[in-house]
Structure 1
């Protein structure tokens, strides 16, 4: 398996602490409050609830969606729905995309965001994250729709992973994903802080959604996950308050990093920057019980999520001060 953030057990084994501040993911630390669930959420076989799909379509602005057990399920399945193809995946990016297109016999090319436009005409499939994880790079919706049209004319696909798209809704192309050739992935885990729910959605043309549903099989999403997500997707008041809270916290992180000479990129939910000797900085934070995400590949640097409370903010600030004074 590829390494991802959130691996606190590994941190605890290595450093022997139990007071971790986990900043290794971009998950909202103030997640949606879990409502009381009806008993049949646990008892019944979890056929897809049409009310969940309707709520998700309203929230994401999509015409049609398929609920899946986290966008990871779709990332693993989509390469199995095409014959061997020329696939370009943006890099650096969420590494699972490239892993699974390569695994299923496709010819894989990795491309920087700057080179994606040229790659479109040499590819059958182009895959990117928007906003990108971990670098925060973005592509305007108009550009994505142009790429999708060019690929569709040759029977190709544009796959856009919008897992971190909730805080930048103007970038989304989910409203157009009922057209052939455009596939959009959305996640309940990041903005709603419900990563453990394992729930995401795929927006695409109806025929492709049927193929994907057949491949994933019946009861792909648990009943409790559907009930909780239905409440979250319908709760506009919580969403508005959370948008404001995340934007404010993102600005606070910008200010903290800038005060230490760090020009970071990212989203309100996470910040990434190229760091000289990132292993030493990662170790410095870990010794203080702060778990960050270390990147040693094309995204050479450090990514931090948001601290959950004031004590965690102060502890992070002290760690930065001590790094500067070392």
Structure 2
């Protein structure tokens, strides 16, 4: 059967998968996203976290903590929002520019947002573009542009989406975004992917103070929920957990690469939160995995590619290994 269109735009569409393959065994294993399957162990939140409106002072405290993690000296340059996706959709309303340079084979939300605002998407090599968008590390290839090369691109307006940079923060240029000499550099950071808490919806904009202030005004008084603020305040300072998690993710990707190679896939890229695999008969393999209750991520622009997130529980690893053996 043809892959449902809903599964081609984003990962995580389990509802569409259940509809397409109603006889698949349950529970489904969702490997279609690049989210850490071992989330940060949040403490119990105080009842008022849920019952009261978010406190503006708590939000500012979160932005200060995030600024410290990102290496940003001035917290006024850091703006919290309900996920980096919300910021992707907001920026076309705040930035001037009608010709936006974005790769056709990167995260599609950027081009979708700018097209929705009436902009023209042009080739990344077009130096006359009003704004360049770089996803770094790239999604889905995992390609990393070193910081010095990223900064070379910042001679003009540059938006860098660092949603997956938490796996190796040394690749971030967020500390320089909006500083002297890099006023036109804008960086997006994501909380939920690395911390395995995508459901809290928390992301950050790092930009020069004037743009940051305009973003805050556009987002309104309560841009982030109380539980999301509490989650960020709890997780970001826990550097020991982050260091241990980076090591575990490396081990898990080595294990996943082994399973995929034994099943006849070529590893085409990825980060330690997801792997991009290639096979000539990838559409058949995608459907076979779906019929086994395992959702992966296909790509309409290259039918030989499938992206695999990391399994979490041991039984999920075993189910994936069994399903791969039958391909």
Tell me the TM-score normalised to structure 2 length.
Answer: 0.90
Contact 2:292/2:323 (CA < 8 Å) preserved in 1?
A: yes
Counterpart of 1:316 in structure 2 is 320
Task: State the distance in 1 between where 2:163 and 2:303 align.
Answer: 18
Task: State the distance in 1 between where 2:117 and 2:302 align.
Answer: 23
3-state SS, counterpart of residue 297 of structure 1:
coil
Deviation of 1:261 after TM superposition, in Å, equals 3.8
Counterpart of 1:256 in structure 2 is 259
**Over residues 263-311 of structure 1, what are the superposed CA-to-partner deviations in whole Å (9 max), with x where a residue is unaligned?**
3210011011233232211111011111111112257510000011222
Counterpart of 2:200 in structure 1 is 197
Counterpart of 1:122 in structure 2 is 128
Counterpart of 2:151 in structure 1 is 145
Instruction: Choose which of 106, 109, 122 in structure 2 pairs with 1:109.
Output: 122
3-state SS, counterpart of residue 40 of structure 2:
coil
Task: Detail structure 1 runs of 4+ shifted over 3 Å in the superposition.
Answer: none
- Seen in structure 2, the aligned counterparts of structure 1 residues 172 and 299 have a Cα distance that, compared at 3 Å, is farther
Instruction: Choose which of 47, 64, 67 in structure 2 pairs with 1:39.
Output: 47
Contact 1:135/1:299 (CA < 8 Å) preserved in 2?
A: no
Task: State the distance in 2 between where 1:10 and 1:250 align.
Answer: 27
Task: State the distance in 1 between where 2:148 and 2:262 align.
Answer: 35
Counterpart of 1:291 in structure 2 is 295
3-state SS, counterpart of residue 20 of structure 2:
helix
Task: Map residues 1-326 of structure 1 onto 2, 5 A cutoff.
Answer: 3-16=9-22, 17=24, 18-48=26-56, 49=58, 50-63=60-73, 64-111=77-124, 118-119=125-126, 121-148=127-154, 150-151=155-156, 157-179=157-179, 180-264=183-267, 265-298=269-302, 301-323=305-327
Contact 2:98/2:120 (CA < 8 Å) preserved in 1?
A: yes
**5+ residue gaps, structure 2:** 1-5
- Residue correspondences, number: 310
Task: State the distance in 1 between where 2:302 and 2:149 align.
Answer: 24
**5+ residue gaps, structure 1:** 112-117, 152-156
Deviation of 1:91 after TM superposition, in Å, equals 2.7
Task: State the distance in 1 between where 2:47 and 2:134 align.
Answer: 40
Deviation of 1:172 after TM superposition, in Å, equals 0.6
Tell me the TM-score normalised to structure 1 length.
Answer: 0.90
Deviation of 1:32 after TM superposition, in Å, equals 0.9
Moved more, 47-56 or 62-71: 47-56
Counterpart of 2:3 in structure 1 is none
